[in-house]
Amino acid sequence: MKRFSPTQAAMAAALFASLPAAAFAQSWTPLKHTPSFSAGAMLQLSDGTIMVQDQGTCGCGGGNWWRLTPDKTGSYVNGTWSQLASMPSGYEPLYFASQVLPDGRVVVQGGEYNGSGNGVWTTKGALYDPVANSWTTVAPPKGWSTIGDAQSVLLADGTYMLANCCSTAEVTLDFSTMTYTTTGTGKADSNDEEGWTLLPSGQVLTVDANDAADPVHTEIQTKGTWTFAGDSPVQLADCCGSGTSHEMGPQVLRPDGTVFAVGATGHTAIYSPSAKSWTAGPDFPKSGSLYYDEADGPGTLLPDGNVLLAASPGVFRTPTKFFEFDGKKLKAEPATSTASQDSSYGVRLLLLPTGQVMESDGSTDVEIYTPSGSANSAWAPVISSIKSTLKEGKSYTLKGTYLAGFSQASAYGDDYQDAVNFPLVRITNTGTGDVFWAKTTGLSSYAPANSKPVKVDVLIPTGIEKGASTLEVVAAGITSAPVSVTIK
């Protein structure tokens, strides 16, 4: 379990990078409107806006959340903030399970901390309704005394699966009846500090962080049962024994079908589902005697297939450096203005529908990364049908392929999940160029790289400009070819 750090709201804007920023095509841009709060966890909502947690003045959890709304050109850099409803009284979590559900609501459960610097591994939870702008309490599974910094995932059919941080217990939750069902039999070790990656097959991959007998052990879940997925050729988790953290970094599915797993040891590994085997990836560089690593920390898939990472030397140390993994090697990238005082676990990365990446670190400094690469058109979602005339306030069915993209894209691990493997719908008025976002719900499959036809419901927003427009689907930061529509 990590140590909490105080909020960094008063940090000086000290730039840290191993090379001058001018040497890179990629760049970081601060938001035009600096948040007035300590920005932490970020979630992409299905209406195009971003939901961001205020970590609180102690940096150890908070019950207040804010919304970032992109401007009329679709820019998040120029977006504006509005405060959302607060969580139920007494629930101010830090490091928790989080998912945007198929109906557009947001579930948050657990918390290693709950508004103070003392670890509590709470079982509290809450469900946010963006339409009503309200939270309701979610009871824990019967008999659970901890949820804590738990991992969660939406399975291919949209079912929500949750881990108990501190045991092998796992459940699914039916939100229509608020009924839990036990799942995840056969787990070899505790869920603690492990992350879950959804594969195109619908299986879920994890790297064990607590198996002292086999510290390179990995597992795969198929229809609720865990089995051995092979030994990694390098040790990824900081496991096991006295003084170890048991931490892991992110696991990111790439468009080539492999999973890039980042360790807390300075090592990385690559899993091939088709070959059912692991190979060693590149090591991070060292700072003195310590490897850069991700003892907890974020990674996100970029539109060109590279993976953006935030790493720091040793366990819970500073500074943070950013890297891109291109499938073969790690390349150093520019740093944010507060990276010199960050450890990897304090950084969050969220892939945006623009193909950019939004970064937060528990301070008021929120920046957006613009990568230099471009997407492969074969990875783009494809619209096969949507009515050509759409009325504001009405819902329509959109059909197509690859609507969940090729990956959950954004990952952290056990402490926070910000997957974006669902479609966003962007409508641009032909005459004015103004951008509007239509809320999507009911995606029929969350499986990445799914070439089979799927469908999603699209709600045309009220107040949208009328007339000739183009409609596009964005999945995991990649945009479909536009189709012409008329808004009435």
pLDDT digits (tens, 9 = 90+) for 113-167: 999 999 999 999 999 999 999 999 999 999 999 999 999 999 999 999 999 999 9
The DSSP element (H or E) to which 281 belongs, if any, is: none
What does 246-269 look like in DSSP terms, one character per residue?
A: -----EEE-TTS-EEEE-SSS-EE
Same structural domain, 203 and 281 = yes
Same structural domain, 409 and 435 = yes
* Domain final residue, candidates 325, 349, 370: 370
Residue 23 scores a pLDDT above 70? no
379-407 exposure pattern, b = at least 16 Cβ within 10 A, e = fewer: bbbebeebeeebebeeebebebbbbbbbb
Q: Is the dihedral of CA 230, 315, 38, 74 positive or negative?
A: negative
Q: What is the CATH number of the domain that holds 439?
A: 2.60.40
Same structural domain, 289 and 388 = no
**Does 323 map to a domain?**
yes
Mean pLDDT of the chain: 94
Same structural domain, 310 and 431 = no
Q: What is the CATH number of the domain that holds 87?
A: 2.130.10.80
Residue 10 scores a pLDDT above 60? no
Same structural domain, 145 and 30 = yes
Predicted pLDDT of residue 281: 98
d(CA 271, CA 256): 11
Same structural domain, 79 and 32 = yes
**Does 391 map to a domain?**
yes
Question: Vertex 48, ends 110 and 33: CA angle to 5°?
Answer: 85
Same structural domain, 56 and 163 = yes
* Domain final residue, candidates 337, 370, 403: 370
Predicted pLDDT of residue 296: 96
**Does 18 map to a domain?**
no
Amino acid letter, residue 476: A
**Does 290 map to a domain?**
yes
Average pLDDT of the residues in 331-343: 98
120-150 exposure pattern, b = at least 16 Cβ within 10 A, e = fewer: bbbbbbbbbebeeeebeebebbeebebbbbb
Condensed to tens digits (0 to 9), the pLDDT of residues 313-323 reads: 999 999 999 99
Average pLDDT of the residues in 225-238: 97
The pTM (predicted TM-score) of the whole model is 0.94
455-472 exposure pattern, b = at least 16 Cβ within 10 A, e = fewer: bbbbbbbeebbeeebebb
Predicted pLDDT of residue 223: 97
Condensed to tens digits (0 to 9), the pLDDT of residues 256-311 reads: 999 999 999 999 999 999 999 999 999 999 999 999 999 999 999 999 999 999 99
pLDDT band of residue 242 (cuts 50, 70, 90) is confident
Residue 101 scores a pLDDT above 50? yes
Residue 359 scores a pLDDT above 80? yes
**Does 5 map to a domain?**
no
Domain residues for 50? 26-370
**Does 161 map to a domain?**
yes
**Does 215 map to a domain?**
yes
Predicted pLDDT of residue 241: 78
Among 337, 422, 435, CA closest to 78: 435
Condensed to tens digits (0 to 9), the pLDDT of residues 425-447 reads: 999 999 999 999 999 999 999 99
pLDDT band of residue 2 (cuts 50, 70, 90) is low
Tell me the three-class secondary structure of 37-58, residue by residue: CCEEEEEECCCCCEEEEECCCC
Same structural domain, 345 and 386 = no
pLDDT band of residue 214 (cuts 50, 70, 90) is very high
Number of neighbouring beta carbons within 10 Å of residue 372: 13
What backbone torsions phi and psi does residue 389 show, to the nearest 5 degrees? -115, 125
Average pLDDT of the residues in 394-408: 98
Same structural domain, 353 and 479 = no
Same structural domain, 449 and 306 = no
* Domain final residue, candidates 370, 395, 421: 370
Same structural domain, 411 and 278 = no
Predicted pLDDT of residue 12: 28
Count how many domains the chain has: 2
How many percent of the chain have pLDDT more than 90? 93
Residue 413 scores a pLDDT above 90? no
Condensed to tens digits (0 to 9), the pLDDT of residues 46-98 reads: 999 999 999 998 899 999 999 999 999 999 999 999 999 999 999 999 999 99
**Does 153 map to a domain?**
yes
Same structural domain, 266 and 130 = yes
d(CA 442, CA 439): 10
